[in-house]
């Protein structure tokens, strides 16, 4: 699912963005930054206190010498191409380190391709992966006896500025580079903002909410996990039974769910708190795309990057990851992905600050939270939905 292309097809011209996406089987290395290129910001990248962030300067990284060689970054397809975060990162990183080249690989089966290659004893043929989520990290560890990713957090400058609320991997393998917040998007012309999870069970909201399948959709899974945080492992299925009895519709993925919402089939949908960045050209658009934070919360769904344990060029991989965490790169990623920066102290643009809504409180489940139970939770939820 490519949220950016879906919104463009719908004629939304506010800001092009790459959010959650499927993958295609292609390799690209010819992208260059669009428009402003490497010089879009003069941010000096100064850190607070004594924290050292040399990757915000021209001098280099925690590794010795000048990074060089070819770096292969595996990611999802809509992260690369014209006017994307990946395109900008490639151009800016290569400008900073002229002896380095960044190539993107977009595996058809995402991270599962590298799990399969590891099981077969085949080479990974990639250095970094961008676009992991916490659940995928858990799945990788369950399927493999040996580590797929290296623990790098303690070896990277800039990780001390990552927001604590989105640090999900206690082993320091998967590093957040941006985050979205799952929320309720609602048509303010038809319905009032639901205040709590319990509000959604009231007769007034019967048949008015659309969500996504937690088995195959990131926002659908996030909404399920958010409900488990609220209702507990022993109470979430009862809550969902009541939600289903109140007419919630569960569609396959974000695109059909959002399409049903925008076409008027229901006045509420589980989506992202950045949606107004796309819909702010008129008061009418804004009114139809209001953001509601249940229990004054948003479920953080960070995108993660990692260095493969068998990377061909780990030094260059670490340099790239440090560059991704610089303030200038974080501002560009946020605008082009229409996601929030992973680090503190970054305001991408005035427009982004005005229309991208951050929840009063961020919640999420960490790797440890999910490690033992997420598969069972989703399977039990799927059986309940199928029986209704």
Same domain, 135 and 215: no
**Contact predicate 268/185, CB 8 Å:** yes
Same domain, 123 and 260: no
Same domain, 169 and 92: yes
For residue 5, the tally of other CB atoms under 10 A from its CB is 15
Summarize pLDDT for 225-278 with one digit per residue, the tens: 999 999 999 999 999 999 999 999 999 999 999 999 999 999 999 999 999 998
Same domain, 191 and 274: yes
Contacts 24+ apart (CB under 8 A), 254-257: 254/1, 254/3, 254/20, 254/212, 254/217, 254/218, 254/219, 254/220, 255/1, 255/3, 255/6, 257/210, 257/211, 257/212, 257/217, 257/220
The confidence score (pLDDT) of residue 188 equals: 97
Confidence of residue 192 (pLDDT cuts 50, 70, 90): very high
CA-nearest of 320, 331, 305, 342 to 75 is: 305
CA-nearest of 303, 304, 302, 299 to 364 is: 299
- 3-state class of 121 per DSSP? coil
**Contact predicate 133/301, CB 8 Å:** yes
For residue 258, the tally of other CB atoms under 10 A from its CB is 25
Confidence of residue 64 (pLDDT cuts 50, 70, 90): low
The confidence score (pLDDT) of residue 219 equals: 95
Same domain, 19 and 111: yes
Same domain, 107 and 191: no
Same domain, 213 and 270: yes
Q: What is the rounded average pLDDT for all residues in the chain?
A: 86
For residue 177, give both structure tokens.
């580079």
The rounded distance, in Å, linking the Cα atoms of 82 and 173 is 29
Range of the domain at 56: 3-180+301-354
The confidence score (pLDDT) of residue 281 equals: 85
Confidence of residue 5 (pLDDT cuts 50, 70, 90): low
User: What is the rounded average pLDDT of the residues 310-335?
Assistant: 97
Q: How many residues does this entry show for the chain? A: 388
Same domain, 149 and 190: no
pTM of the predicted model as reported, rounded to 2 decimal places: 0.83
DSSP 38: G
**Total number of domains constituting the chain:** 2
Same domain, 191 and 275: yes
Confidence of residue 66 (pLDDT cuts 50, 70, 90): confident
The rounded distance, in Å, linking the Cα atoms of 30 and 107 is 17
Confidence of residue 26 (pLDDT cuts 50, 70, 90): very low
Summarize pLDDT for 93-145 with one digit per residue, the tens: 999 999 999 999 999 999 999 999 999 999 999 999 999 999 999 999 999 99
CATH of the domain at 350: 3.40.190.10
Same domain, 305 and 261: no
Same domain, 166 and 185: no
Same domain, 292 and 239: yes
The confidence score (pLDDT) of residue 372 equals: 84
Strand partners, 305: 130, 175
| pLDDT score of 38 more than 90 | no
Provide the CA 162 distance to its chain's centre, in angstroms: 14
């Amino acid at each position: 699912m490519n949220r950016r292309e879906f919104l463009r097809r719908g004629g939304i011209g506010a800001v092009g963005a790459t959010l959650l996406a499927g993958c295609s089987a292609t390799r690209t290395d010819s992208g260059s930054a669009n428009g402003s290129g490497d010089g879009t910001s003069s941010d000096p990248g100064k850190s607070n206190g004594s924290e050292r962030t040399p990757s915000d300067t021209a001098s280099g990284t925690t590794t010795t010498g000048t990074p060089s060689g070819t770096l292969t970054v595996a990611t999802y397809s809509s992260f690369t191409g014209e006017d994307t975060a990946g395109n900008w990162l490639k151009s800016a990183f290569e400008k900073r380190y002229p002896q380095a080249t960044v190539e993107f690989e977009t595996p058809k089966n995402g991270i599962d391709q590298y799990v399969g290659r590891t099981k077969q004893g085949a080479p990974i043929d990639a250095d970094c992966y961008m676009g992991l989520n916490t659940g995928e990290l858990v799945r990788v560890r369950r399927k493999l006896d040996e580590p797929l990713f290296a623990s790098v957090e303690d070896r990277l400058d800039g990780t001390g500025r990552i927001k604590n609320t989105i640090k999900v991997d206690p082993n320091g393998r998967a590093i957040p580079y941006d985050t979205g917040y799952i929320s309720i998007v609602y048509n303010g012309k038809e319905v009032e903002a639901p205040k709590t999870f319990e509000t959604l069970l009231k007769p007034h909201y019967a048949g008015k909410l659309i969500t996504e399948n937690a088995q195959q959709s990131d926002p659908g899974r996030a909404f399920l996990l958010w409900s488990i945080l609220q209702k507990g492992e022993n109470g979430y299925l009862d809550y969902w039974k009541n939600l289903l009895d109140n007419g919630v519709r569960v569609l396959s993925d974000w695109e059909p769910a959002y399409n049903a919402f925008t076409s008027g089939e229901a006045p509420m949908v589980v989506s992202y708190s950045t949606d107004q960045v796309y819909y702010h050209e008129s008061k009418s658009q804004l009114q139809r795309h209001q953001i509601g934070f249940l229990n004054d919360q948003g479920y953080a769904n960070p995108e993660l990057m990692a260095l493969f344990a068998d990377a061909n060029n780990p030094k260059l991989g670490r340099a790239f990851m440090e560059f991704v965490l610089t303030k200038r790169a974080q501002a560009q990623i946020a605008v082009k992905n229409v996601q929030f920066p992973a680090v503190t102290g970054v305001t991408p643009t005035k427009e982004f600050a005005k229309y991208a809504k951050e929840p009063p409180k961020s919640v999420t489940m960490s790797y440890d939270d999910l490690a033992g139970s997420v598969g069972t939770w989703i399977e039990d939820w799927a059986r309940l939905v199928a029986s209704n």
